[in-house]
Amino acid sequence: MNMNSHMNFRMSAKNKKIIETAALLKGFKPNTYARMKLLEVAEKDIAEMGQVNNLVLSEKDWEQFSQIMQAPLHTNDNLKRAIREFDNEI
């Protein structure tokens, strides 16, 4: 494993002591323990956010969504006016 990157942060003496105690109980050096636990939590957070950001549609809903996305865009007068106003602001 190539260990050429650093993360530096401060913590209270109390929090440091908690990490040192946990590391000792698990048989790790404090830095190794902290790195391992931080990575575990980060991977869990990424996985959870991936689930939150995914939308699962039923087959019927997917068909309806696909039809809407493939349909030609219909512009009414209000949309045309908004586009002109936006273009004039740029």
pLDDT by residue, tens only, the chain of 90 residues: 677 888 898 999 999 999 999 999 999 999 999 999 999 999 999 988 877 777 889 999 999 999 999 988 888 899 889 989 898 887
- 37 in any annotated domain: yes
8 is a domain residue = no
In a domain, 84, yes or no: yes
Residue 34 lies in a domain: yes
The pLDDT score that the predictor gives to residue 60 is 96
In a domain, 3, yes or no: no
31 within domain boundaries: yes
Q: Please name the residue that has the structure tokens 């045309």.
A: 80
* Whole-number pLDDT of residue 3: 78
Residue type, 29: K
Domain of 78 in residue numbering reads as 13-89
- Inside any domain, residue 6: no
Contacts for 26 with CB less than 8 Å, ≥ 6 apart: 33
pTM of this prediction? Answer: 0.54
For residue 71, is it within any domain?
yes
Identify residue 89 by its one-letter amino acid code. Answer: E
d(C-alpha 34, C-alpha 43), whole Å: 14
Based on the structure, what is the number of domains in the chain? Answer: 1
